[in-house]
């Protein structure tokens, strides 16, 4: 009985980006609310730290979704 070993090389995925938590307290309508991800708000879209984090998230998403790129292309062709 012969065993067939299939080997496919797939590169290791980039690390999952983890947004740091920075406590930010806001008082709204008499309640104190804590938003640990307020630092990601960058209305001017110029913070190097925020842009770097978003680029890491996009790279991770592109890598994970690359396996269905053909299906997306076919769907786009059909629709």
pLDDT in tens, 1-23: 555 565 567 778 888 999 999 99
Task: Note whether residue 3 is domain-resident.
Answer: no
Tens digit of each residue's pLDDT (9 = 90 or more) over 28-68:
999 999 999 999 999 999 999 999 999 999 999 999 998 89
Task: Note whether residue 54 is domain-resident.
Answer: yes
Task: Note whether residue 29 is domain-resident.
Answer: yes
Tokens coding 17 = 């980006």
Task: Note whether residue 51 is domain-resident.
Answer: yes
Task: Note whether residue 19 is domain-resident.
Answer: no
Task: Note whether residue 55 is domain-resident.
Answer: yes
Domain count, the chain: 1
- CA–CA distance from 34 to each of 1, 17, 18, 19, 43 (Å)? 63, 22, 19, 16, 19
pLDDT band at 69 (very low <50, low <70, confident <90, very high): confident
The answer to whether the predicted template modeling score (pTM) of the entire model surpasses 0.75 is no
User: In terms of residue numbers, what domain contains 35?
Assistant: 25-78
Maximal CA-CA distance, the chain: 75
């Amino acid at each position: 009985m012969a065993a067939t070993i299939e080997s496919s090389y797939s590169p290791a995925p980039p690390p999952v980006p983890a947004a740091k938590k920075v406590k930010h307290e806001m008082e709204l309508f008499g309640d104190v609310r804590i938003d640990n991800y307020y630092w990601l708000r960058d209305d001017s879209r110029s913070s190097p730290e925020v842009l770097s984090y978003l680029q890491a998230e996009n790279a991770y998403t592109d890598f994970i979704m690359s396996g269905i790129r053909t299906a997306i292309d076919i769907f786009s062709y059909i629709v």
